[in-house]
Amino acid sequence: MALVTMRQLLDEAAAGGYGVGAFNVNNMEQIQAVMEAARETNSPAIVQASRGARTYTNDRFLIHLMQAATEVYPEIPVALHQDHGNSPETCFSAIEIGFTSVMMDGSLLADGKTPADYEYNVRVTREVVERAHAVGVTVEGELGTLGGVEDGHGSGIVELTDPAQAVDFVERTGVDALAVAVGTSHGAYKFTRPPDAEVLAMELIEDIHERLPETHLVMHGSSSVPRDLVDKINRYGGRIRETWGVPVEEIQRGIRHGVRKVNVDTDARLAMTSAVREVLAEDPEEFDPRKYLTPARASMQAMYAERMRQFGQAGHAGDYEPKSLDDMRELYASGAATRA
């Protein structure tokens, strides 16, 4: 099976009332862990790469790793998504090498740090939509800004999404999916206490979903920062400070109100690091990367599989016949792809 578009995965998720985890990758082991978890749970999958990941892995290595994934796991519909594209040019380069979905994050300027004004966001997002839809590629936009900085991206300022403005944004840009800011943050240090309504405004998702019932909503910064993984890292020599992530129950609440894509990165980093630290702490003489990357991959797979089950995507990989980019291009051209 070739890579498929994220738009179809989210359309099917909306029809089935579930969410789809979008997992950031930087290397072969992470891609293998995502795909093994998808096979284990019979789930569709979204693999996403940031600009930093593309630089670290190299575009040609990344695209060939993903092509290998489609060959080894032909039963899994999988989309390759550009996470937090900082400019139209970044999104266009992703499309050119074979990404089937891109995010134009016009909430920030091209430096990935400075908050942008609304009209700038509309203009650059619409530019990407026009180019992407012409070749069948999905586009995610963002309105509002998240806290924290991850992989060099983020202003560190939380600006919650305005529900009324969200309606205007979707109408003017034609995005397939909308990332909303409800108080979540990038990175491990999201909250200094268990999050409540004062810091996590889940009611905004409910409001936006009521206004835009056909729009696919996206939650960024949605790692749950499992306490057992943090404790394990610290037990084997790490120094992760006390922190709280987004409770799975709150993500599930979002899914009941239109959230179809859930971004998870930090949880995988914690899973991988905890396993590596354990091996090296228990056997300080070990130097064979396979000895610590194998359990690291297994730890990530277990985490991904757990999220796939919690988000409701498990069991849905074979529900539908995947559409090609040409199929999606024709649907966009005909106006038939009207969700969002």
DSSP-derived secondary structure letter, 83: E
Six-digit token pair at 141? 């936009």
Catalytic residues: 83
Residue 150, pLDDT score:
57
- Give me the DSSP letters along 109-143: -TTSSSBPPHHHHHHHHHHHHHHHHTTT-EEEEEE
Strands 138-143 and 45-49: unpaired
| Block mean pLDDT (10 aa), the chain, length 340 | 93 98 98 98 98 97 98 98 98 98 96 94 98 98 74 65 97 97 77 75 94 96 94 97 92 97 97 98 98 98 98 97 96 79
Residue 43, pLDDT score:
98
Tokens 């789930």 locate to 43
Domain 6-224+242-264+307-334 maps to which CATH number in 1.10.1200.10, 3.20.20.70, 3.40.50.2000, 3.30.70.2190?
Answer: 3.20.20.70
Residue 340, pLDDT score:
46
What is the pTM for the complete model shown? Answer: 0.94
d(CA 243, CA 191): 6
Residues in the chain: 340
Strands 101-104 and 78-85: parallel
Partners of residue 71 on adjacent β-strands: none
Q: Which of 84, 219, 104 is nearest to 161 (CA)?
A: 219
Domain range list for the chain = 6-224+242-264+307-334
Six-digit token pair at 265? 């990165």
pLDDT tens, 73-127?
A: 999 999 999 999 999 999 999 999 999 999 999 999 999 989 999 999 999 999 9
